[in-house]
Amino acid sequence: MNKQTRATAIKLFALTFFLSFAGCVTTGPGGKKSFMVIGSGQEVEFGKGINEEILKETELLDDSLWQAYINEVGQKIVAVCDRKDIVYHFAVIKSDQINAFALPGGYLYFYTGLLKKMDNEAQMAAVVSHEISHVVARHGMKRLQTAMIAQLGYAIVFGSESSQLTEAAVGIGMTLVFSGYSRSAEREADSYGIQYMTQVGYQPEGAVQMFEVLAAAGERDPNSFEKLVASHPETKERISLARQQIAQMAPLPENLTFSKDRYQTMKARLK
């Protein structure tokens, strides 16, 4: 086998290996399915790698009560969500940025800058549900797999060294994870999020309040990849979609809560 044939064989093996995980998985409420070629195991490995990089660069909030609080709310929502084949990790980052994000594999982060803007637990739960929904819907992984297939296909046709190929895949992964989701992905995460938060007992109106608070916080930092603080026309659309969805959910269960008192106690600790 000459060098070129061997390189081609390696790439074909890589592609076959990659595609061997292919299958339809549940990616949303109501048994919604999507075709995924990257399995959960690979996704978790990938997420873990990025998470290690994140932890080198960020300072977690040094308050075990807050870390336990975000985890408690997060796990409560995970229990009703449509993806439970991975372990979810929730943490608070000490930073004035008004932001939150979810890495593939279930690593979710919330900035103190965002938490200080929230007024009740239902608003925070709306953000937490939204981030969980990105992981449930595999939004990041869907973009990564499209790009990786294109890259592998390109490499097989035109040939390139496999080290370059790996480098390219990692490069694509990092860029995609940090380049933000599409508008339709955001809409999907909003919609799933509202369902999940209501299922665990929060007032879905908290999601509308969350959008309003973040819209008032101003334009989105162009460096942040999560579009929670979006442009005004976009936020207006999200609010109206949320209102429509909530209206369709009527009659809402009784005893839904905003849990304001508990949140205010926790918020006071952030000062």
- Residues in the site for Zn ion, rule: CB under 5 A? 186, 189
3-state secondary structure the chain: CCHHHHHHHHHHHHHHHHHCCCEEEEEEHHHEEEEECCCHHHHHHHHHHHHHHHHHHCCECCCHHHHHHHHHHHHHHHCCCCCCCCCCEEEEECCCCCCEEEECCCEEEEEHHHHCCCCCHHHHHHHHHHHHHHHHCCHHHHHHHHHHHHHHHHHHHHCCCHHHHHHHHHHHHHHHHCCCCCHHHHHHHHHHHHHHHHHCCECCHHHHHHHHHHHHCCCCCCCCCCCCCCCHHHHHHHHHHHHHHHHHCCCCCCCCECCHHHHHHHHHCCC
Least distance to Zn ion from the beta carbon of 190, Å?
8
Question: Which of 6, 183 has the CB closer to Zn ion?
Answer: 183
Nearer to Zn ion, 121 or 186 (CB): 186
What tokens does 73 get? 């709310």
CB of 168 to Zn ion, least distance (A): 26
Q: Least distance (Å) from Zn ion to the CB of residue 44?
A: 20
Q: How far is the CB of 130 from Zn ion (least distance, A)?
A: 5
Distance of CA 35 to the CA centre of its chain: 18
Q: Which is nearer to Zn ion, 238 or 267 (CB)?
A: 238
Nearest approach, Cβ of residue 233 and Zn ion (Å): 17
Nearer to Zn ion, 189 or 208 (CB): 189
Distance (Å, whole) CA 137 – CA 152:
24
Rank residues 42 and 99 by Cβ distance to Zn ion and give the closer one. 99
Beta carbon of residue 109, minimum distance to Zn ion (angstroms, whole number): 13
Pick the closer one to Zn ion by CB: 11 or 139.
139
Q: Which is nearer to Zn ion, 189 or 242 (CB)?
A: 189
As given in the structure block, the two tokens for residue 118 are: 């929230």
**Which amino acid, one-letter code, is at 115?**
L
Instruction: Tell the smallest beta-carbon distance from residue 102 to Zn ion (Å).
Output: 8
